[in-house]
Amino acid sequence: MADKDFKTIDEQIEILRSRGLTIEDEAEAKDFLLRNNYYRVSGYSLTLRKNDVFAKSATFQNIEDIYNFDHEFRHIILHHIETIEVQIKSIYAYEFTKVYGPLGYLDAANFSNQAKHKEIVDKANQQKRQRLAHEAYLKHFINDLHQEIPLWAYVDLLTISDISFLYSISERPLKETIAHRFGLTMNRGPEILGQYMHSMTIIRNLCAHGSRIYNRLFEQKPSLNKKEQTLLIRREDGTMDNAHFFGFFLIMRRLLPAENFAEMKEAVIALTEKYPFVRMDYYGFRDDWKEKL
C-alpha cells in the first residue's frame, strides 16, 4: 500500500483506488490519512489485499474499522496491564521488605547479581533527584529515612520493565515466594513469572506507543501450560498458533484477579460487537474464545 516516494493525499487516494479499494467518502478518507499517516494505516490493510490488489469487497471503511478497533483494543489491554503492574510492584515490595527491610534494596548483598544491582541504586538516586520537587509523599519518607526512599515508595516510580529487572536479580527464595502469590507453585514458577513480566513489558510498550497489535506476529512467544495451549488456534499443518496476541491474553488471565479479567473480557466482547467486521483470529482468538475463557 505504501510507496517509497512522497505522495500527496490526493495521490495516495488514487493509488488506493487503482489497487481496487472502494472509497465511498473521499473527504473522510483524506482526513483519516492525513491524521494517521499513510504508511501506518497500510499495516491495517494487509489482511484485505494480496500482492497490492485489494479484495473486491474491500472498502476504506473496513480499514478505518480495523484501525479504530485496534486503537480501542490497545487501551483496554493497557488499562488492565496497569492493574497487573501495580499488583506486581505491591507484592514485590511487601515480600522483599519483609525479608530485607525498607532500604534493603540498596544493599547489593541482597541480590544475586551485584554488578547489575548498581543500576538499581543509580536509578533510585536519579529518580529521587528528579521527583523530589514534585512528590510530597517522597519528601515525607526521605526525611524519616535519612534521605533514602523506602522500597514501597520507590516501586511506585518504577516501570513494569524496571520491576521485572529487579525481580530477575533477586535471590531465588524471594522469587519463589512471589511466584507462589500468583499461583505458580511448580519448580519453574519463578522462571515462568519472570517470563510473564517480560511478556507484559513487551505488550505494555506496544500499547503505550500506539503500535499495531492487529495481525502482529510476536517473536517472543508467551510461555503457556498444556491446557492453555489447547485454547490456541490450530493451523492447517496441525501446529498451534502462539505467535499472535491471544497467548498474552491468556497470561493476563493468569495474572489478573478474576473480576478484573472478567471486566477485560467483557470490554473486548463489547468492542467486537461495535466493530463486527474485524476478525479476532488476526489476534489469535478462536471463534469459541468467549465460551472457553
What is the torsional sign of CA 283, 289, 290, 293?
A: negative
Tally helices (H) and strands (E) across the chain.
Answer: 14, 4
Give the model's pLDDT for residue 120: 78
pLDDT at residue 1 tops 60:
no
Give the model's pLDDT for residue 191: 96
Q: How far apart are CA 238 and CA 240, in angstroms?
A: 7
203-236 pLDDT, tens digit each: 999 999 999 999 999 998 999 999 999 999 998 8
Where are the chain's structural domains? 1-58, 79-202
Average pLDDT score over residue span 162-189: 95
- Model confidence at 139, pLDDT cuts 50, 70, 90, reads low
As a whole number, the mean pLDDT across the chain is 92
Q: How far apart are CA 131 and CA 94, in angstroms?
A: 22
- Model confidence at 129, pLDDT cuts 50, 70, 90, reads low
The amino acid that residue 172 corresponds to is: R
- Model confidence at 195, pLDDT cuts 50, 70, 90, reads very high
* First-residue to last-residue Cα distance in the chain: 36
pLDDT at residue 144 tops 60:
no
Return the closest-CA partner of residue 242 out of 227, 261, 220, 213: 220
31-77 pLDDT, tens digit each: 999 999 999 999 999 999 998 999 999 999 999 999 999 999 999 99
Is-above-0.75 flag for pTM? yes
- Model confidence at 18, pLDDT cuts 50, 70, 90, reads very high
**Residue 129 in contact with residue 182, Cβ under 8 Å?**
no
Give the model's pLDDT for residue 133: 57
- Model confidence at 14, pLDDT cuts 50, 70, 90, reads very high
Return the closest-CA partner of residue 92 out of 156, 146, 140: 156
List the Cα angle 152/124/119 in 5-degree steps. 120
